[in-house]
Chains A and B, each alone.
Chain A
Amino acid sequence: MAEDWTMHPRYYTREHEWVTVHGELATIGITKFAAEQLGDVVFVELPEKGKSFTRGDDMAVVESVKAASDVYAPVSGEVVDVNGELEGAPERVNEAPDADGWFCVLKIADADELKTLMDEEAYTKFCADEAS
């Protein structure tokens, strides 16, 4: 994976996931807000490489001491890479949700779907609205 992938444009979903787009690929993870809400993450179930998802499908599971949550496919696409390190070290999700705690990389099937996602400003406002 390119070293500077975190510098590419980043989008957010209402389910508190982030999507960083680099070319036709999208790296996906959960936001710092989501990681804090979950508390200590103890288990991550990742999708299989080569599997395709439609936007909104259950793609992965993240389990913390408080709750188990589904991670949804923020865009449609095929899984081309997964962060296998999370299986042995789920704490990466708490330590660096924006970087080392990434979940998987999808090959984007329909770039138009990105338009439905929020940018950072909109997401910050969304979180503030949800908290109030």
Chain B
Amino acid sequence: MTMNSTGRPTAPTDIAAAAGAPETVSGSRGLLQHEPLIFETDRWGKTGVDLPAPRGREDRLGGLARKSAVDLPGLSEPQAVRHYVRLSQRNYAIDLGLFPLGSCTMKHNPRLNERMARLPGFADIHPMQPQSTVQGALGLIDELAGWLKTLTGMPAVAMSPKAGAHGELCGMLAIRKALEVRGELETRRRVLVPASAHGTNPATAIQCGFTVDEIGAGKDGLVDMEALRVKLEETDDIAGIMLTNPNTCGLFERDIREIADLIHEAGGYFYCDGANFNAIMGRVRPGDLGIDAMHINLHKTFSTPHGGGGPGSGPTVLSDALAAFAPVPFVSQEEDGGFMLVEEDRREAAHSFGRMVAFHGQMGMFVRALSYMLSHGADGLKQAGEDAVLNANYVQARLKEVMSPAFDGFCMHEALFSDDFLGDNGIETVDIAKGLLDEGYHPMTMYFPLVVHGAMLLEPTETESRAELDRFCDALADVARRAKAGDETLKGAPYLAPLRRLDETRAARKPVLKWSPPARESVAAE
């Protein structure tokens, strides 16, 4: 059996053999079909379509025509379709079951959204069409922007960022531009980032040319206010802070108003990572908290697909202090009621920090997000956020007898556990995650946030019914109980996944990033 470098089996599980089934010639086990890589099919030197050779065409390539084969497998349409469908059957998706990945907000993607996005007036337009022919689409962007501004209590929003981290970049570039206009870009170099932040936050700050200082978390999982005050007293070069609220411990930063005041008094700006906005949607307006910029993940909070099904979309709301620096283009409504895209050449964009994308953002996601908002209504969005928090607390309450909650009290949208309950019995967080695979669930986020030892972070979202939450909690509680009792079989999990424990260490230490052809001689001989 193939083992990984920690001595765990990596080979596919042969459940059928364990059940006494005979070996098969095909390598498939019943309807669990054996599927090689597309490059490892036997279609080398063949073509999947039979086209007549073109006649009477002049060669205009000037001797640059390819002489050798393109080295791609030649699959027919049914072969290509089957290959990808077989692979997709090994995938796990929100459409298959509960997806508790923390800080990812893996909520259901309503089919109504898909239907709206496929309306020809949205689906079949082109970014280079005359604006007069896409007034409905521009109007939709404007309406969505209006919802986002209302929900966040912020005066402006940049719609073009195409992901959460792209939105962070947008916010930080706006802050950078504001400092430049103030003539303080050279002297304000430091961005504060709490220890529980998403890894993209410090990366964004560095990308914008700032240096990053970490602010520790207190014992309660919140920003250590004393450490923040000391840092602000010791330094005079603060550009801003990047804070997530609720934070990645699943806790609301209750001192956020004071943090905003302190940062503003120090002359800096307040960037809020809006990844966890689902928890406070409809109840808290970031604009009321003193935030200057915040991205919103439409693919989390507003139900557009993600986790392989994207693309993402990260509109970024901006305060009065930053609104003038928003990127171009943006939609503006004219006096005659028509809509237009404001580009660099317009006076309104005189202070814009520039352009982030070629056109205006993820149109398909805008349609889906607005569809979600309109179908829920303002009261429905508020309830969605409340139900998400309720579900997370239900999970925390059901599991706290077996596992160790990282912090006391209620959580927000996600429940965080440490590995304290495992003691030193040799079973680790990763073993629990792998055990959960055998129970038929995607595992939780593990080893993040870093401020909690052996962290397990669970975000069920409002999508799940109580019955489904119970089934999930029964499964996880059982795995956790086995782990606590030192059940060594967990070290071998998963037993029932298409592949067992992959060699993550070797993959990271010696990554093979390029496919190499197997036994090319036999191909050449054909």
Query: Hey, which bits of chain A sit against chain B, CB under 8 A?
Result: 40, 42-43, 63, 65-68, 90-91
User: Is B21 interfacial (CB 8 A cutoff)?
Assistant: no
B57 within 8 A of A: no
* Assembled-state Cα–Cα distance A90/B510 (Å): 10
Kindly state the separation between the CA atoms of A4 and B325 in the bound complex, as whole angstroms: 60
Which A residue's beta carbon lies closest to that of B507? A42
Give CA–CA (A68, B450) in the complex, Å. 9
Query: Which of B5, B447, B508 makes the CB contact (< 8 A) with A67?
Result: B447
B450–A65 CB distance below 8 A: no
Closest to A69 in B: B450
In the complex, what residues of B have CB within 8 A of residue A43's CB?
A: 508-509
Residues of B close to A90: CB separation below 8 A: 509
Q: How far is the CB of A79 from chain B (nearest CB, A)?
A: 19
Q: Are A67 and B505 in contact (CB under 8 A)?
A: no
Measured in the bound complex, the distance between the Cα atoms of B450 and A63 in whole Å is 13
Closest to A68 in B: B199
Contact string against A for B residues 485-515, beta-carbon threshold 8 Å, 1 for contact and 0 otherwise = 0000000000000000000110011000000
Closest B residue, CB atoms, query A90:
B509
Q: Is the CB of B505 within 8 A of A40?
A: yes
Q: Chain A residues near B47: list those with CB within 8 A.
A: none
| Interface 0/1 of B394-422, CB less than 8 Å to A | 00000000000000000000000000000
Contact B450 A91 (CB under 8 A): no
A63: chain B residues within 8 A (beta carbon): 508
Q: Which residues of B contact A68 (CB under 8 A)?
A: 199
Which B residues lie at the A interface, using CB under 8 A?
A: 5-6, 199, 447, 450, 504-505, 508-509
A65 to B501, CA, bound (A): 14
Min CB distance A24 to B, Å, is 29
Chain B neighbourhood of A40, CB < 8 A: 5-6, 504-505, 508-509
Task: Show 16 residue pairs from A and B whose CB-CB distance is below 8 angstroms, ordered by the A residue.
Answer: A40-B5, A40-B6, A40-B504, A40-B505, A40-B508, A40-B509, A42-B508, A43-B508, A43-B509, A63-B508, A65-B505, A66-B447, A67-B450, A68-B199, A90-B509, A91-B509
Q: Report whether A42 and B447 are in contact in the complex, using a CB–CB cutoff of 8 Å.
A: no
| A131 to B414 Cα, complex, angstroms | 26
Q: Closest Cβ of chain A: how far from B299's Cβ, in Å?
A: 25
Closest A residue by C-beta to B214: A70
CB-based contact A42/B450 at 8 Å: no
Instruction: State A40–B5 Cα separation when bound (angstroms).
Output: 10
Q: How far is the CA of A43 from the CA of B506 in the complex (A)?
A: 11
CB distance from A121 to the nearest CB of B (A): 23
Question: Measured between alpha carbons, how far is A114 from B6 in the docked complex, in Å?
Answer: 38
Separation of A124 and B176 alpha carbons in the complex (Å): 45
B447 contacts across to A, CB distance below 8 A: 66-67
Nearest A residue (CB) for B429: A66
CB-CB under 8 A from A66, the residues of chain B are: 447
Query: Nearest B residue to A42 by beta-carbon distance?
Result: B508
Minimum CB–CB distance for A80 against chain B, Å:
25
- Which residues of A have CB within 8 Å of B505? 40, 42, 65
- A68→B199 CA distance, assembly (Å): 9
B509 / chain A contacts, CB cutoff of 8 Å: 40, 42-43, 90-91
A10 to B193 alpha-carbon distance, docked (Å): 32
Residues of chain A contacted by B508 (CB below 8 angstroms): 40, 42-43, 63, 65
Least distance between B230 CB and chain A CB atoms (Å)? 14
Centre residue among B5, B199, B509 by max chain A CB count within 10 A: B509
Task: Report how far A65 CA is from B503 CA in the complex, Å.
Answer: 10
Report the bound CA distance from A59 to B509 in whole Å: 21
Which chain A positions have C-beta within 8 A of B6?
40
Query: Given the complex, which residues of A lie within 8 Å of B199, measured CB to CB?
Result: 68
Minimum CB–CB distance for B348 against chain A, Å: 41
- Cα separation A42 to B508 with both chains bound (whole Å): 6
Q: In the complex, what distance in Å separates the CA atom of A63 from the CA atom of B199?
A: 13
Given A40-B505, A40-B508, A67-B447, 18 further pairs, Cβ under 8 A: A40-B5, A40-B6, A40-B504, A40-B509, A42-B505, A42-B508, A42-B509, A43-B508, A43-B509, A63-B508, A65-B504, A65-B505, A65-B508, A66-B447, A67-B450, A68-B199, A90-B509, A91-B509
| Least CB separation from B448: chain A residue | A67
Cα distance A42–B6 in the bound complex, in angstroms = 13
Shortest CB-to-CB span from A93 to chain B, Å, is 11
Task: Please name all residues of chain A whose beta carbon is closer than 8 Å to the beta carbon of B450 when the two chains form the complex.
Answer: 67
